[in-house]
Structure 1
């Protein structure tokens, strides 16, 4: 149930234009509020003293001139929330959300005898909440029904006792703060009306209070992304009105009670992913016939899926990834799940073949079966899934890649296709006269299959392609010039193959890598499911993925083209572990958006261009194991790179106080041992972390997934 679903009925359904002016006292209260702003963003100019305050921006009055609503959301206001607003004796709704208010939330607002709705979400409020007159009689009237303090900076323990006076509270959203201590347990002592409680994204710890089971009207209970431990209390299942139960990413353990879960027959959303639950998915889950979302990912659950799951005919999402489920998926009759849009069983231990009943799920958008032990060939019936946009079946034991691509080429709705990772081991890449179609495909991964042959020409016809992963195969021959004709391609990883020849000039003509104005926005359907790149790191949207060109670990020869300077929007460049020779071209200094540059393990000579220290975004740099000479650049980002970035270049030297380059005995960079060479893996894992920070959001942020990053760059295969 959305917050607005509760908020709207509580607002006045009709507001009559005032026939009377607001009182001098109420106008004074508004002006005191205005005086407390350090930035009014033009509000002062709109609130004229010579104008009735009922006509002021954001102010609504009743027919007798009393102020009943103050609505100043998203106005760019800064400063403190004045207690004077509590003096508006008829105020019923206060909305100051999406501003930059700081300090405390005045107790006068919480203790008001008139206010029904307070929304101060998305501000910078930080003081501990404490309703006024905490020692007064519990019977004191507090009409407040909706309180949204989410996305602020509140900290400390939640003052539970003081909130017992909120006998009319229906909705409390305190999510995305920094509350600590035990999870509050007293909400239902006085307020039997509490319907929505959201404490997501805080620092609550300890066990979940069983007293929440006494909240007879509770419909939404959310406390994900905290530090809660222990088992789900038996009493919780007494809250039979629950429709939304969400506790992802905590430390909850134990099993789902087979008997008591049937009390929650109104449940439509069950989110318990990212915990430590064990045991089977109970057979009684089939009695939750209203269930729409079943999210149990990242636990330690095991056993076979109950056939009774087929009875949950309203299911829209099934997410069981990252567990230890076994057996065959055919035990579930998916043809009953006509509303199913997402099925995700990534990283389990399922065996057998893909159930034919899945192809009856006509509304299926995303199907991820990767990381299991499924085998066989793909059924032609998959083309019946007319809405399927995301298909990931990597890291299984499927065979016959040619047949699979022939079938899938007719699925025009597919935008993301991830089929590599141990499938088709040692087969040949399908030839040019076999595959067509895929006109809407944006992301294609056929990596890690040891496929032989050349990079096929049929890929040149995928005009919508934006990301191509062919790494960790045995592809040979030159890199084809037609790659430049893929005008939307911004991510190309063909590392760890047997490609030969020169670095083609055609790569320097890739439109998406040349233009700094070109964005990596992708149709949202391309990422119907989060794509994992490393342990705990994931991409939900392609506009967060760097522009990458990875040719590492092949058999490329000749020099690095000077035309490389044309790729001005490139973020990651990896030419490592080839046989490139000649000098590092000065044009590398033009790649002002570069964040990772790896030219290690080649035959490069000459000096490192000193101008590279102007690449202000460069976070990782590696030219080890070449034949470079002269001074190592200093200043800028070069003051942060470790010695391992330059090792096995005995003619390189650092400019130091004690030893200058060019002196009789230059100070050579130390030589690495074999063990240290192996640690180049950490270079790329570190890069993954660099890009992972800051781009992962809301309840999809997980931390316990297996890493699937290739040692030479991103390896999005699942």
Structure 2
């Protein structure tokens, strides 16, 4: 037998040690079958001298000693992916001069990358993946002797020091990933010699440098993916033209400043732009029509939103939040087919236009902390996939938008601090108003009348803690290591708190600072998954309803209602933060 491949099978039990007697094997792959994560002594393969391809991954715990009898002189490809290796670098690779592919990612290998590794196979190795281990120390200069290297992945380790300048000698390299380490110093200018470089990532390090104009030289660069996020890059990005084939440009979480040329993104095919969390200012550059992800959040951009954004018909995520953009929302946004629209914390004015077409796929709309006025547009009722709607801290007017209670998926509904008024009427078109709602904040408006019993009766996500934990998902736009995650700001005792990543377990109702009157409905006692309830600063009277099951004591209370009320024994043990 020369080839043995057992992938994604249903075998159980131990790997028989007699497997090591198949001396004619040239290819062995064991991966993904039901072995209950058994321990494999790597020395069992010591007799397989003809192996050219060896792959062990998933559900195996492979034990490799620091020294032993294994040697594979013909080995060309070795994959030990996620098999809980904890030893130092595999010793037997000294005897594999023909190795072309090495993947030992997803393990717990510690210590430095050995100097001898680059010298043993300087002309053969094409692909090297050491990512997601615990390698420490500097990147050895001997690794630059791997002259045939095409793919090198050293991400998610604890490598430190400077990036070796000799990496510029790897003229064939097309993908270099050094992200998620402790690397420092400037980028070596010699990387400009890597004219075949297609994907370059140094995100999440401590690189201190200016923008690498020399790397993006459009006359010679083949760069498709450039990730410089979460470093110490700084300064102004001078007049350059992006490489025409560049698709991903990620510069977020640095210290870049100044204005970007208005045509910075033009004449390129860039589709993923993330320049958030810098100090850019001035007007927005004109986005290219190829765009599908656009995040400029947390900068100092000013001026109006470019109408050219509407030409990006593939645009899926728009995050322009936390800038100084003014003017109104372009009416041509009706042409967008995005999943997330985040324009919060700007200086936008005017009415929110009727731009929400039928069958749109919006899941998140965040327009808070602007200067929008008028009524909410009726076309919001077309957003059948909507999960998050936050229009808080504007100057919106009108009665409660009861026509939104038929949206089947809405989970966060925030109208806080506007000029809404009137009673909380329901649409009466459905018996399942807001069934998935988990954060309901209409505080600091001018609503009046009784509390909305009909809504409380249908808040299923706040009644059953098990459903609340397991059933609801959140917008999480991912592309490699990049995400857009929903968050929400809640006000607790006057303090604004932004909740990120815990949305799936947090539930709250805030009806405070309105003019509600009458008794508190007994149905509130059924909301056993509710984490926060604020009814303060209203005109409520009567008895606070009790929960059916005694729970932990109230931690704080704000008795800022008017009239008379009393606290029954059962309710004094409810497991919530309650403001009354």
Q: How does 1:458-473 map to 2 (within 5 A)?
A: 458-473=403-418
1:429 to 361, 367, 375: 375
| 1:574 matches 2:533 | yes
Q: How does 1:615-630 map to 2 (within 5 A)?
A: none
| 1:196 matches 2:175 | yes
Any gaps of 5 or more consecutive residues in structure 1?
1-16, 22-39, 243-260, 616-620, 627-718
Please report how far the alpha carbon of residue 622 of structure 1 lies from its aligned counterpart in structure 2 after TM superposition: 5.3
1:120 to 85, 104, 111: 104
Please report how far the alpha carbon of residue 488 of structure 1 lies from its aligned counterpart in structure 2 after TM superposition: 2.8
Please report how far the alpha carbon of residue 132 of structure 1 lies from its aligned counterpart in structure 2 after TM superposition: 4.7
1:283 to 226, 230, 239: 239
2:223 alignment counterpart: 267
Question: 1:504-557, CA deviations, whole angstroms, 9 ceiling, x for partnerless residues?
Answer: 444253122233235112566799844455799785x8x853342231533456
Cα distance between partner residues in 2 of 1:117 and 1:125: 18
2:15 alignment counterpart: 44
Cα distance between partner residues in 1 of 2:222 and 2:380: 48
2:321 alignment counterpart: 370
Question: Is the contact between residue 481 and residue 507 of structure 1 (CA under 8 Å) also seen in structure 2?
Answer: no
Question: Is the contact between residue 423 and residue 449 of structure 1 (CA under 8 Å) also seen in structure 2?
Answer: yes
Please report how far the alpha carbon of residue 316 of structure 1 lies from its aligned counterpart in structure 2 after TM superposition: 0.8
Any gaps of 5 or more consecutive residues in structure 2?
5-10, 32-44, 490-495
Cα distance between partner residues in 1 of 2:235 and 2:162: 27
1:91 to 44, 65, 75: 75
| 1:150 matches 2:95 | no
2:275 alignment counterpart: 320
Please report how far the alpha carbon of residue 150 of structure 1 lies from its aligned counterpart in structure 2 after TM superposition: 0.9
| 1:68 matches 2:68 | no
Q: How does 1:178-577 map to 2 (within 5 A)?
A: 178-187=158-167, 192-215=171-194, 217-231=196-210, 237=214, 261-262=217-218, 265-275=221-231, 277-285=233-241, 288-309=243-264, 311-329=266-284, 332=286, 334=287, 337-385=288-336, 387-401=337-351, 404-410=352-358, 412-424=360-372, 427-430=373-376, 436-480=381-425, 485-500=433-448, 503-505=451-453, 506-515=455-464, 516-517=466-467, 518-522=470-474, 529-531=484-486, 533=488, 539=500, 545-551=504-510, 553-555=512-514, 556=516, 563-564=523-524, 566-570=526-530, 572-575=531-534, 577=536
Question: 1:622-645, CA deviations, whole angstroms, 9 ceiling, x for partnerless residues?
Answer: 568x8xxxxxxxxxxxxxxxxxxx
Question: Is the contact between residue 437 and residue 461 of structure 2 (CA under 8 Å) also seen in structure 1?
Answer: yes
Please report how far the alpha carbon of residue 398 of structure 1 lies from its aligned counterpart in structure 2 after TM superposition: 3.6
Question: Is the contact between residue 367 and residue 390 of structure 1 (CA under 8 Å) also seen in structure 2?
Answer: yes
- What secondary structure, in the 3-state scheme, does the structure 2 residue paired with 1:127 have? strand
- What secondary structure, in the 3-state scheme, does the structure 2 residue paired with 1:553 have? coil
Higher percent of residues as strand: 2
Question: 1:554-613, CA deviations, whole angstroms, 9 ceiling, x for partnerless residues?
Answer: 34566665544543444x32326345675684547569xx9x97644557746797866x
- What secondary structure, in the 3-state scheme, does the structure 2 residue paired with 1:338 have? coil
Change (3 A) 1:133 1:343: closer
Cα distance between partner residues in 1 of 2:194 and 2:382: 55
Question: Is the contact between residue 513 and residue 547 of structure 1 (CA under 8 Å) also seen in structure 2?
Answer: no
- What secondary structure, in the 3-state scheme, does the structure 1 residue paired with 2:508 have? strand
1:649 alignment counterpart: none
Question: 1:42-75, CA deviations, whole angstroms, 9 ceiling, x for partnerless residues?
Answer: 44248557877849962699xx992222211112
Cα distance between partner residues in 2 of 1:566 and 1:168: 67
Cα distance between partner residues in 1 of 2:2 and 2:503: 50
Please report how far the alpha carbon of residue 447 of structure 1 lies from its aligned counterpart in structure 2 after TM superposition: 0.9
Question: Is the contact between residue 144 and residue 166 of structure 2 (CA under 8 Å) also seen in structure 1?
Answer: yes
Cα distance between partner residues in 2 of 1:327 and 1:356: 16
Change (3 A) 1:398 1:311: closer
Change (3 A) 1:599 1:89: farther
1:109 to 93, 109, 113: 93
Higher percent of residues as helix: 1
Please report how far the alpha carbon of residue 151 of structure 1 lies from its aligned counterpart in structure 2 after TM superposition: 0.9
Change (3 A) 1:373 1:449: same
Cα distance between partner residues in 2 of 1:528 and 1:152: 23
Change (3 A) 1:54 1:495: farther
Change (3 A) 1:45 1:111: closer
2:37 alignment counterpart: none
Please report how far the alpha carbon of residue 106 of structure 1 lies from its aligned counterpart in structure 2 after TM superposition: 1.9
Q: How does 1:674-693 map to 2 (within 5 A)?
A: none
- What secondary structure, in the 3-state scheme, does the structure 1 residue paired with 2:309 have? helix
- What secondary structure, in the 3-state scheme, does the structure 2 residue paired with 1:545 have? helix
Question: 1:672-712, CA deviations, whole angstroms, 9 ceiling, x for partnerless residues?
Answer: xxxxxxxxxxxxxxxxxxxxxxxxxxxxxxxxxxxxxxxxx
Question: Is the contact between residue 478 and residue 502 of structure 1 (CA under 8 Å) also seen in structure 2?
Answer: yes
Change (3 A) 1:46 1:454: farther
1:170 alignment counterpart: 150
Cα distance between partner residues in 1 of 2:26 and 2:572: 64
Question: Is the contact between residue 97 and residue 121 of structure 2 (CA under 8 Å) also seen in structure 1?
Answer: no
Please report how far the alpha carbon of residue 227 of structure 1 lies from its aligned counterpart in structure 2 after TM superposition: 1.7
* Structure with greater contact order relative to length (CA < 8 Å, sep ≥ 6): 1
Q: How does 1:49-60 map to 2 (within 5 A)?
A: 54=25, 58=29
Change (3 A) 1:59 1:209: same
Change (3 A) 1:229 1:399: closer
- TM-score relative to the length of structure 1: 0.63
Please report how far the alpha carbon of residue 306 of structure 1 lies from its aligned counterpart in structure 2 after TM superposition: 1.9
Please report how far the alpha carbon of residue 445 of structure 1 lies from its aligned counterpart in structure 2 after TM superposition: 1.5
Please report how far the alpha carbon of residue 153 of structure 1 lies from its aligned counterpart in structure 2 after TM superposition: 2.0
Cα distance between partner residues in 2 of 1:53 and 1:42: 24
